[in-house]
Amino acid sequence: MAPAAKSSVLLDVKPWGDETDMAKLEEAVRGISMEGLTWGASRLVEVAYGMKKLQIMLTVANDLVSVDGLIEDHLCAEPIDQYVQSCDIVGCNVEYIDY
């Protein structure tokens, strides 16, 4: 059996503006649930002029979840797009697990 791959990803989630309710943004992001996706630690990072972005860790089973698909089809799509302007992958680490 081939080893399974899991990726740990650090994601920047950027709001539309400084008036965006960041607690609701994070709640909406963490509300995305799918097999092979686990949300981790998060923090708010100051960007400029009082605006903050959400930086959040996630782990995905690569054979079940596409990070690009997660961003395009869930994080930047309705209804979350009322909070989220864009998402960027800051870092990614792939780990192979032999069973």
Q: Where are the domains of the chain?
A: 4-97
Distance CA 69, CA 63 (A): 12
Tokens, residue 80: 């979350």
pLDDT at 99 over 70: no
Torsion of CA 37, 92, 44, 69, to 10 degrees: -50
Q: How confident is the model at residue 97 (pLDDT cuts 50, 70, 90)?
A: confident
Instruction: Kindly report the average pLDDT of the chain as a whole number.
Output: 93
CATH topology of domain 4-97: Alpha-Beta Plaits (3.30.70)
> pLDDT tens digits for 13-71?
999 999 999 999 999 999 999 999 999 999 999 998 889 999 999 999 999 999 999 99
Provide the 10 A C-beta neighbour count for residue 70.
19
pLDDT at 1 over 60: no
Predicted confidence at residue 44, as pLDDT, reads: 98
What are the distances in angstroms from CA 36 to CA 19, 21, 23, 39? 33, 28, 24, 10
